[in-house]
Amino acid sequence: MHKESLLDFLTRMATPLDVIVEWSHIPKGTLPVFLLDSGNVQTARIAHHKKEYTHLLRLTEKRPSKMYLAHIECLVPFGSIGFSAYVEKHNLGNVPEAYLP
């Protein structure tokens, strides 16, 4: 599995977003990733569909956060098996066999 933390990856490879964009304006082949500050810990959430994106935007109103855009194929090692299956099912990118259920 992947040894680099998602935060390190985002800092190195993703594009920070300083403005909120409409879901329809998210570039093809990328997904928004939210870093949410919960006080003692930062959590990262990948918004892989519009409903999740809207939910995460609401959470950012309540707590400090930062949003990034990252290439889908690069996110696969950090996502859950469900995320990998979603990417594969919807033909959003190449998923290495090791990340499929």
Tens of each residue's pLDDT in the chain, 101 residues: 557 777 788 888 899 998 889 999 999 889 999 988 877 887 888 998 899 999 999 988 888 889 999 999 888 888 888 888 888 888 887 777 777 76
Q: What is the pLDDT of residue 4?
A: 75
Q: What is the pLDDT of residue 2?
A: 57
CB 67 within 8 A of CB 16: yes
Q: What is the pLDDT of residue 51?
A: 94
Determine whether 41 is exposed, middle or buried from the number of CB atoms within 10 Å of its CB (0-12, 13-18, 19+): exposed
Percent of the chain as helix, strand, coil, to the nearest 5: 40, 25, 35
Can you read off the two tokens belonging to residue 54?
A: 């809207």
Q: What is the DSSP string of 44-93?
A: EEE--SHHHHHHHHHHHTTS-EEEEEEEHHHHGGGS-HHHHHHHHHTT-S
Segments making up each domain of the chain, as ranges: 6-21+28-99
What CA–CA distance (Å, rounded) separates 72 from 59?
A: 22
